Amino acid sequence: MAKIKVSPCLLEGMFVIEPQVFGDDRGFFMETYNQREMAEAGLNMVFVQDNQSMSKQGVLRGLHYQIRYPQGKLVRVIRGEVFDVGVDLRPDSPTYGQWHGEILSAENKKQLYIPEGFAHGFYVLSEEAEFCYKCTDFYHPGDEGGLRWDDPDIAVDWPLLEGIPVLLSEKDQKQPFFRELPRD
């Protein structure tokens, strides 16, 4: 019996992953990753790095990608809640320039797989959120790319919290627009 449900998104290569949760009055147990079940669902990626971050409410991280060494990411929230987004930046893809977003939370335990060639970002909805992700390639300093979070051509429908300012890093305040990205 499968312990992980893998559902494709409308963007090819992007998946929502929902672990089966076994719980009782003591707590719960779940498998967050199972290589055999992922392979049976057609996901044969190899992860080489795990990352974890904590962010406060209103923080928006992204939209980021690596240029020459693209990373696939399996992302999840272990505390709090975020709106997580992937943007297809593969020029030959039929969904090039389109985005998909999901609410990920410690409560719903959903995960999102964002494939290589996508920009990725998230917005923190809860007071704080801890975010974990597995990567298919190592981080390469100097190979970073980015896209404006509020790009009108991409038009991500971020569920911004009323009265809470969007908190961006200095780098994310200066990211280019989609129309300015190289197309090779």
Q: Look up 64 and say whether it is catalytic.
A: yes
Q: Which entry of 65, 113, 123, 133 is annotated as an active-site residue? A: 133
* C-alpha to C-alpha distance for 87 and 96, rounded to whole angstroms: 8
CA neighbor of 158 nearest in space, from 83, 57, 59, 58 = 83
Q: What is the CA radius of gyration of the chain?
A: 16
Beta-bridge partner residues of 129: 55
Q: Which amino acid is at 173?
A: Q
Q: Which entry of 64, 100, 113, 123 is annotated as an active-site residue? A: 64
- 132: CB partners within 8 A, 6+ apart: 50, 51, 52, 75, 76, 77, 78
CA neighbor of 101 nearest in space, from 165, 151, 157, 175 = 157
Q: Look up 120 and say whether it is catalytic.
A: no
Q: Are 45 and 146 in contact (CB under 8 A)?
A: no
- What residues act catalytically? 64, 133
